[in-house]
Amino acid sequence: MSAQSSAMARQPASEVLVIGAGVAGLATALAAAPRAVRVLDAGAPGGDGASIWAQGGIAAAVGTGDAPAQHAADTLAAGQWRNDPVAVRHLTERAPDVIDWLERLGVRFDRDGDGALLLGREAAHGRMRIVHARGDATGAEVMRALTRAAVRCAHIAVAPQCRAFALARADDGRVVGAWAWNGHAVELWPARAVVLATGGYAALYRHTTNPAGNDGGGIALALAAGAAVADLEFVQFHPTALALPEASGQLPLLTEALRGAGAVLIDGSGQRFMPAEHPLAELAPRDVVARAVAARTLAGHAAFLDARAAVGAAFPEHFPTVFAACMRAGIDPRTQPVPITPAAHYCMGGVRVDADARSSLDGLYAVGEAACTGVHGANRLASNSLLEGLVFGRALGQHLAAALPAAAAGAALPCPRTYAPLDAATRAALADVLWTYAGLVRDEAGLAHAATRIAAWRATREPGASAADLLDLAAALIAAMRARRECVGAHWRRDVRAAA
Ligand code: SIN
């Protein structure tokens, strides 16, 4: 039985419908003024999605001697030069302006005694470049300011607890709104432009740093409507999530800024292992560090983040979010090494979009982690994710303010789906399959096994039920991983020789 109500309400039409209320969605909505914007938030206002959990900060070339071109060079190197260089230039050149904009909106970035922005260091950045707030609470601080600004803007109306599960199409194929479940009934939200800002799909994995809602639902509904997707196989695993015994789902993140501040990785015998793996040791690219950690944990040796010497007593002040998470788990990071595991963290792929965030479907746009602009290539550089959502979201909002697509000739066609979320047992089994066979290191045999399991689940689904869309996304992810027979960036196959 699906949860669909037979009565479907129709909301008044808006000019722009933004699906998702994280940084990318809110940046789009704010910049689209004076357009009438509706924002559908699957959770409570400002409290859902991945943005609020972001710890590290926002990369921007604002330091003395830094330049967007240097930020761009690091972004391209981390992405293994598979990035779209135009998108990288767009991102890095606008980063300093985004920091100014956020401060004008009331974001309080950390500053030194002279009032200069304090800059942190993260892996694969050639210099200190990470602007942060309240130590390791940058995402929460940025979301606080954006949510407050959105609430104050007359052109924006946020609808909480509305989960979009299908795109509304006109008979000419144009996307003319979305169908959403509000907890009681299905509603049609008509609009001239529909923006997906729904985040990625890292929460489909058993171990993830993402909240459960980051399950690729937005990408899945675009895929179901026939939108082109790209780079799905590039899934980034963060090397240092807090390893909690028997835990699955979202694990607390231990920000890379800790290693930027000098914390080291050690094995069960207290030995550092990264210097033997890479010349940059703990500040090697994230995929390199994650594989080194996984190699130890898979071999049955624990791995730990040791911040005792580098941070020690300053932990509560400099890294309050991490400190609280460790203390909740019964570990005092001032005096104890913290057990770690890699966890699915970020998806470089998503709905394929052009430089104006347009998808392959008329009327549909995508920004932030839901989108694939090509800016990250095969691996995202640390602290480029909030930045991407802000830069591309803002640019899309400005674009829609200036040029909204023409209204469709016809009305929306009937809803093509019934709302039926994936049942918890299948979702847990899928999380295990992805973690085991489509994780940090993959091979053809494992991916083929995953494809068979997913196909079996798909065969049992009611045709047209929205739960099938997530399985279709998982199938597309596996197909993309099978198709890329090379080791590059975050895509690592044990059955293919890595380029020297
Ligand atoms: C972190 O704080 O380690 C994560 C930052 C990011 O994903 O860019």
What pLDDT, on the 0 to 100 scale, is given for residue 301?
85
For the cut 90, the answer to whether the pLDDT of residue 352 exceeds it is: yes
d(CA 270, CA 57): 30
Separation of 150 CA from ligand 1 center, angstroms? 25
CA 40 to chain centre: 18
For the cut 90, the answer to whether the pLDDT of residue 405 exceeds it is: no
Q: Is the CB of 383 under 6 A from ligand 1?
A: yes
Which protein residue has the closest C-alpha to ligand 1 atom 4?
56
Which protein residue has the closest C-alpha to ligand 1 atom 5?
56
Least confident of 96-110, 216-230, 236-250, 388-402: 236-250
For ligand 1, what atom is nearest to the CA of residue 385? 8
d(CA 50, CA 139): 8
Sorted by sequence, the CB contacts under 8 Å of residue 267 that are 6+ apart come out as 273, 296, 301, 302, 303, 304
Separation of 344 CA from ligand 1 center, angstroms? 12
For the cut 80, the answer to whether the pLDDT of residue 410 exceeds it is: no
Q: Is the CB of 256 under 6 A from ligand 1?
A: yes
What pLDDT, on the 0 to 100 scale, is given for residue 446?
98
Look up 493 and say whether it is catalytic: no
The pLDDT of 478-499, averaged and rounded, is: 94
Q: Is the CB of 48 under 6 A from ligand 1?
A: no
For the cut 60, the answer to whether the pLDDT of residue 7 exceeds it is: no
Q: Is the CB of 385 under 6 A from ligand 1?
A: yes
> How does residue 439 score in pLDDT terms, banded at 50, 70 and 90?
very high
> How does residue 128 score in pLDDT terms, banded at 50, 70 and 90?
very high
For the cut 80, the answer to whether the pLDDT of residue 419 exceeds it is: yes
Amino acid at residue number 183: G
Q: Fold match between 3-234+348-402 and 239-344?
A: no
Q: Is the CB of 359 under 6 A from ligand 1?
A: no
The pLDDT of 321-335, averaged and rounded, is: 97
Q: Is the CB of 282 under 6 A from ligand 1?
A: no
For ligand 1, pick from 53, 91, 129, 238 the residue to mutate: most ligand atoms within 8 Å of CB.
Answer: 238
Q: Is the CB of 55 under 6 A from ligand 1?
A: yes
For the cut 50, the answer to whether the pLDDT of residue 22 exceeds it is: yes
For ligand 1, what atom is nearest to the CA of residue 381? 8
Separation of 120 CA from ligand 1 center, angstroms? 12
For ligand 1, pick from 253, 293, 338, 380 the residue to mutate: most ligand atoms within 8 Å of CB.
Answer: 253
Q: Are 462 and 2 in contact (CB under 8 A)?
A: yes
Query: Which CATH fold would you assign to the domain 3-234+348-402?
Result: FAD/NAD(P)-binding domain (3.50.50)
The CATH architecture of the domain made up of 239-344 is Alpha-Beta Complex (3.90)
What pLDDT, on the 0 to 100 scale, is given for residue 1?
39
For ligand 1, what atom is nearest to the CA of residue 122? 3
**DSSP string covering 209-236:** SS-TT-SSHHHHHHHHTT--EE-TT-EE
Q: Is the CB of 56 under 6 A from ligand 1?
A: yes
d(CA 57, CA 88): 18
Q: What's the pTM?
A: 0.95
Per the residue annotation, which of 286, 358, 461, 482 is the catalytic one?
A: 286
Q: Is the CB of 255 under 6 A from ligand 1?
A: yes
Separation of 35 CA from ligand 1 center, angstroms? 33
Separation of 24 CA from ligand 1 center, angstroms? 16
Separation of 14 CA from ligand 1 center, angstroms? 35
pLDDT digits (tens, 9 = 90+) for 279-295: 999 999 899 999 999 99
**DSSP string covering 284-334:** S-HHHHHHHHHHHHHTT--EEEE-TTTTGGGHHHH-HHHHHHHHHTT--TT
Q: Is the CB of 250 under 6 A from ligand 1?
A: no
Q: Is the CB of 382 under 6 A from ligand 1?
A: yes
Q: Where are the domains of the chain?
A: 3-234+348-402, 239-344, 424-483
pLDDT digits (tens, 9 = 90+) for 33-86: 999 999 999 986 655 678 788 888 999 999 999 999 999 999 999 999 999 999
Which of these, 200, 160, 196, 161, lies nearest to 178 by C-alpha position?
Answer: 196
Which of these, 1, 19, 10, lies nearest to 415 by C-alpha position?
Answer: 10
What pLDDT, on the 0 to 100 scale, is given for residue 45?
60
For ligand 1, what atom is nearest to the CA of residue 55? 2
